Amino acid sequence: MVERVKVAVVGVGNNVSALVQGIALYRASGSVTGIRRPVLEGLGVGDVDFVAAFATSPEKIGRDLSEVIFLPPNNYPRITGELPLSGVTVRRGITDTADATEVDRVAGELAGAEVVLYAAPSGRPETAHAYAEAALRAGAAFINTTADPVARDPQLLDRYARAGLPLLGDDLTSQFGTSAVHHALLRLLEERGLSLTSSYQVNLGGTEDFRNLVENGDTKMRSKLNALASESEAPGRVQVAPLGYLPHLKSHKVAHINIEAQAWGETTVSLDVKLTVHDPSGAAGVNIDLVRMAANALRQRRGGYLDEAAPLLKSPPGTAV
């Protein structure tokens, strides 16, 4: 009998809702539908227990994790019949990073956790660092799902490595999203000898994460653009339109992709794609693997970064901060 992984989560948004509910769903049904790795080095997707959770909104603190995941602005759907209480009370997270006692307090509350999944909003690098510090003190592995540089901090990574603690990050790819589809199609064009004329991608979403991305400018857009342009060896031929925050979409993400190319005889080929996914499912489908990778490595005393995590991360150590 495998020992379940003990996970603490920081931030109780849609992505944690998708993770908590998905684990409950699969545990109850025994289904493996939609799971990338039903078993990862001996750990099933149900072999994960939540032991602590941190949030900053007053209305979330003090309530059970199974309730908090459904509080607005969370809008990921209820995917299980009914979700029993988790027994995990959401605690007050770190709000004042200048207060050194806060890190100590959280480190104490992390006692017993093997993996800390940092799933707060992007854009607060100091907070991310404070939690990474607390996890290090508590002897837990740390996963940074935000775009803030944590695993890309060489000194922090070194301290984790020396402590025999895994440190995974930064930023998640999605189990299945716009980039994957766009890439696959551009690659196919290239293989078949088609010449790319132009291509665009429009992304629409309705989550808080999406709203943050829209408001924090086009960083993500630009990185997408670069990634796609290099893929097609056609710099400047792939364009990413501004993100559109459309609250009606709730946790759906909708992408419209267009590709115009030329085949034999310079005749035109057109591809139009509409993709609809639940954005938080894409994150949870990757987090479930990172959590199990981190737990396995921790139990094997492999500290620092883990190469097997690379395909699941957008900005692993070594990439530009």
Per CB under 8 A, residues contacting a copy of itself are: 18, 21-22, 25, 31-37, 77, 79, 175-176, 180-181, 184-185, 187-189, 192-195, 197-198, 200, 202, 204, 237, 239, 241-244, 246-249, 254, 256, 258, 261-278, 281-282, 284-285, 288
Q: How far is the CB of 256 from a copy of itself (least distance, A)?
A: 5
Query: What HEC string does 61-96 produce?
Result: CCCEHHHHCCCCCCCCCCCCCCCCCCCCEEEECCCC
Nearer Cβ to a copy of itself (127/178)? 178
Residue closer to a copy of itself, measured from CB, 56 or 212: 212
- Residue pair 242/205 in contact (Cβ under 8 Å)? The answer is no
State the nearest-atom distance from the C-beta of 290 to a copy of itself, in Å: 13
| Burial category of 154 from C-beta neighbours within 10 Å (exposed 0-12, middle 13-18, buried 19 and up) | exposed
- Nearest distance from C-beta of residue 288 to a copy of itself, angstroms: 7
The distance of closest approach from Cβ of residue 13 to a copy of itself in the complex, given in angstroms and rounded to an integer, is 15
On the 0-12 / 13-18 / 19+ scale of CB atoms within 10 A, 61 is: middle
Nearer to a copy of itself by Cβ, of 79 and 161: the residue is: 79
**Measured from the CB of residue 164, what is the shortest distance to a copy of itself in angstroms?**
30
Following CA atoms 226, 127, 108, 24 in sequence, which dihedral angle do they give, to the nearest 10 degrees? -50
Q: Could you tell me the smallest distance in angstroms from the CB atom of residue 192 to a copy of itself?
A: 5
Here the tokens at position 257 are 């992709």
Nearer to a copy of itself, 71 or 273 (CB): 273
Please say which residue, 57 or 198, places its beta carbon nearer to a copy of itself. Answer: 198
b (16+ CB within 10 A) / e for 278-317: bbbbbbbbbbbbbbbbbbbbbeeebbbbbeebeebbbbbb
Provide the token pair at 306. 């883990």
3-state SS assignment for residue 141: strand
Q: Which is nearer to a copy of itself, 95 or 226 (CB)?
A: 226
